[in-house]
């Protein structure tokens, strides 16, 4: 079996779930956590075992190596999966940069344009440029259901992949196929980053349910009870703006309801029908607080980034801008300044032609 060795960076819900699932399927997994967050590995550090429940294998998974040594982690495999929130992309890039070389392929899961930020950091550090890639959503609907246990409720089908440089797309897809079968490809990482689903749904859904989240501490089913037909109207307006930004750059992205169906979340139909017909989504509770990744990640690193790209290429995004502005008040920090606009993405001032050339070759 090719690519039997893989390094996973991160110690959260999806990192644990992925590490356990791949281990049970015969892969040799090295799991790394960054300094300051190593406590996330403590519940399994002595035994090395993550207990997996749910839809993608069940039982005790003894991970080959748990480490906080980045040199050890990157030496273990040329294939590296970065499975952390978008606001952790930069610190992980800074830690990894001195130890990466051209043999490595780093896949951000998901990326939401994070591959562009990583590329700029690696170029600034002057080291060898690893191949970078990102996917459009996390591979599983999952949670840590105990300190040493992960539960997977659903597996995303047809995970979407973008690669930088785009000329390496076929090779990277082939390397990832044994891990995530059925992977689909986008023309490049920008198309993939604009195809992320979480920023389309989460900010509007959470902000329009803000009172209920605070009062109940998230004790309701977010998709089944919170994403009502009226909330869906706002989500679909965000989606129209997202696809308009993509169209201005030459990409034709499917609407959110079709993306949900293709990912296996629910039946084909309008978004409300797809969500309410989804067994895995309707099992998810709302976040327990407004200080949640569904705002602190998806607003500055999703909507804010998309709106910044749209502004550079002449596409208005008034609904996105409104959600970033209102979300900034709720979050207590400026979602525009905290996020990654075109400057942090390393594409400020690039013409469409220059951007396409860069995405294809990885240089420019």
- Taking only the tens place, the pLDDT of each residue in 336-363 is 999 999 999 999 999 999 999 999 998 8
With respect to residue 363, please indicate whether it lies within any of the assigned structural domains. Answer: no
With respect to residue 362, please indicate whether it lies within any of the assigned structural domains. Answer: no
Does 311 share its domain with 274? yes
With respect to residue 328, please indicate whether it lies within any of the assigned structural domains. Answer: yes
User: Between 259 and 312, where is the model more confident?
Assistant: 312
With respect to residue 102, please indicate whether it lies within any of the assigned structural domains. Answer: yes
Q: CATH number of the domain that 76 lies in? A: 3.40.50.720
With respect to residue 316, please indicate whether it lies within any of the assigned structural domains. Answer: yes
**Residue 1's pLDDT is what?**
36
Q: How sure is the predictor about 270, in pLDDT bands with cuts at 50, 70 and 90? A: confident
With respect to residue 56, please indicate whether it lies within any of the assigned structural domains. Answer: yes
Does 136 share its domain with 207? no
Evaluate if residue 268 carries a pLDDT over 90: no
Evaluate if residue 96 carries a pLDDT over 50: yes
With respect to residue 364, please indicate whether it lies within any of the assigned structural domains. Answer: no
**Residue 127's pLDDT is what?**
59
**Residue 275's pLDDT is what?**
82
Question: Taking a C-beta distance cutoff of 8 angstroms, is the pair 74, 7 a contact?
Answer: yes
* Residue after which a domain boundary falls, among 165, 193, 221: 193
With respect to residue 344, please indicate whether it lies within any of the assigned structural domains. Answer: yes
Does 55 share its domain with 169? yes
Does 92 share its domain with 20? yes
Does 57 share its domain with 186? yes
pTM here is 0.92
* Residue after which a domain boundary falls, among 132, 167, 193: 193
Does 182 share its domain with 213? no
Q: CATH number of the domain that 293 lies in? A: 1.10.1040.10
Please give the tally of structural domains in the chain.
2
Average pLDDT, the chain: 93
Give the model confidence (pLDDT) of 220-262 as tens digits: 999 989 999 999 999 999 999 999 999 999 999 999 899 888 8
Give the model confidence (pLDDT) of 121-146 as tens digits: 998 887 568 999 999 999 998 999 99
- Tell me the average pLDDT across 193-210: 96
Does 289 share its domain with 324? yes
Residue 211 structural domain? 198-357
Does 209 share its domain with 128? no
- Tell me the average pLDDT across 70-96: 96
Does 186 share its domain with 233? no
**Residue 294's pLDDT is what?**
96
Evaluate if residue 3 carries a pLDDT over 70: no
Percent pLDDT > 70 in the chain is 98
Give the model confidence (pLDDT) of 14-33 as tens digits: 999 999 999 999 999 999 99
**Residue 181's pLDDT is what?**
95
- Tell me the average pLDDT across 316-329: 98
């Amino acid at each position: 079996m090719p690519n039997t060795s893989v390094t996973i960076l991160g110690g959260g819900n999806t990192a644990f779930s992925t590490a356990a699932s791949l281990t049970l399927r015969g892969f040799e997994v090295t799991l790394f956590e960054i300094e300051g967050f190593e406590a996330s590995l403590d519940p399994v550090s002595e035994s090395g075992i993550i207990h997996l429940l749910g839809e993608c294998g069940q039982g005790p998974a003894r991970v080959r190596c748990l480490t906080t040594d980045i040199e050890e982690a990157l030496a273990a495999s040329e294939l590296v999966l970065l499975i952390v929130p978008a606001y952790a992309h930069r610190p992980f890039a800074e830690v990894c940069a001195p130890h990466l070389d051209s043999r490595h392929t780093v896949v951000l899961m998901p990326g939401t344009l994070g591959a562009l930020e990583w590329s700029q950091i690696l170029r600034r550090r002057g080291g060898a440029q690893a191949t970078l890639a990102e996917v459009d959503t996390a591979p599983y609907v999952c949670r840590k259901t105990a300190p040493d246990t992960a539960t997977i409720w659903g597996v995303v089908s047809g995970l979407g992949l973008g690669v930088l440089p785009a000329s390496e797309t076929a090779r990277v897809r082939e390397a990832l196929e044994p891990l995530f079968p059925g992977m689909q490809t986008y023309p490049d990482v920008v198309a993939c980053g604009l195809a992320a689903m979480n920023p389309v749904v989460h900010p509007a859904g959470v902000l329009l349910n803000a009172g209920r989240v605070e009062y109940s501490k998230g004790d309701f089913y977010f998709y089944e009870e919170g994403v009502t037909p009226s909330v869906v109207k706002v989500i679909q307006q965000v989606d129209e703006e997202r696809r308009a930004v993509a169209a201005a750059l030459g990409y034709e992205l499917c609407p959110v309801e079709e993306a949900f169906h293709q990912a296996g979340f629910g039946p084909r139909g309008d978004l409300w029908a797809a969500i309410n017909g989804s067994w895995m989504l309707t099992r998810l509770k709302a976040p327990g607080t407004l200080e949640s990744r569904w705002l602190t990640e998806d607003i500055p690193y999703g909507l804010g980034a998309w709106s910044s790209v749209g502004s550079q290429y002449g596409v208005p995004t008034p609904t996105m801008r409104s959600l970033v502005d209102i979300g900034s008040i709720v979050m207590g920090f400026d979602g525009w300044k905290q996020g990654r606009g075109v400057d942090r993405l390393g594409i400020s001032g690039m013409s469409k032609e220059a951007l396409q050339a860069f995405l294809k070759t990885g240089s420019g």
